[in-house]
Amino acid sequence: MTTAGRSPALKKMFAIIAGLLVIAFCIAACATSRAGYETAPYTVIRADGDFEIREYPELKIATTARAGDNSSFMRLFRYIDGGNVAKEKIAMTTPVFMVDGKMAFVVPEKHQAATPAPTSAQVMVNTMKAQRVAVLRFSGTRTKDSEPQALAKLKAWMQANKLTEVGAPFSAYYDPPWTPGFMRRNEVLVPMRGEP
């Protein structure tokens, strides 16, 4: 085979290798983006595959009404980016909770005792009470069906394990929007009563 004959094959091979390296870099960047944030603390009481029973302590959360667009996230982001009476930057945390029709950021440990008040009337600082919850972790891009399907699975697992639901379900999302669906950590959570 002549050198000219090998050149297109070598170019194709280098293009494939370069593409694989770019994909590997993107996957690594997405995987480490979640790891760089403080996560709301909890204790696992029981684990069963993708199902868990957890104890959450009382948490301070910054909340705003959920909207169909990106405005809810941006209101909370402005609050942690200095849109508070202390004009202080507050570290981003995971997860973002969707609870009672609101989007909520967990206030980091450093600010739990003295949380700066928001300057926007659309953002509130509230307390999420300490609670025991049943949890199902699932991956994928958020769709109108993904959360209800995960919740149905969680409730079936709770029923099979004789666990009593005592509050409204809520959800948690751990990853930025550019994370590929198969790498995303999503959860549905149901407040519960009783022993695991």
In tens, the pLDDT along 21-31 reads 555 454 444 44
Looking at residue 81, the DSSP 8-state letter turns out to be B
pTM, to two decimals: 0.79
CA distances for 128 relative to 61, 88, 162, 183, angstroms: 7, 22, 25, 28
User: Residue 14 — pLDDT band, cuts 50, 70, 90?
Assistant: low
Please say whether the structural domain 41-57+130-196 has been given the CATH code 3.30.200. yes
Cβ-based neighbour number of residue 134 at 10 Å: 26
Q: What is the CATH number of domain 59-129?
A: 3.20.80.10
Domain positions in the chain: 1-36, 41-57+130-196, 59-129
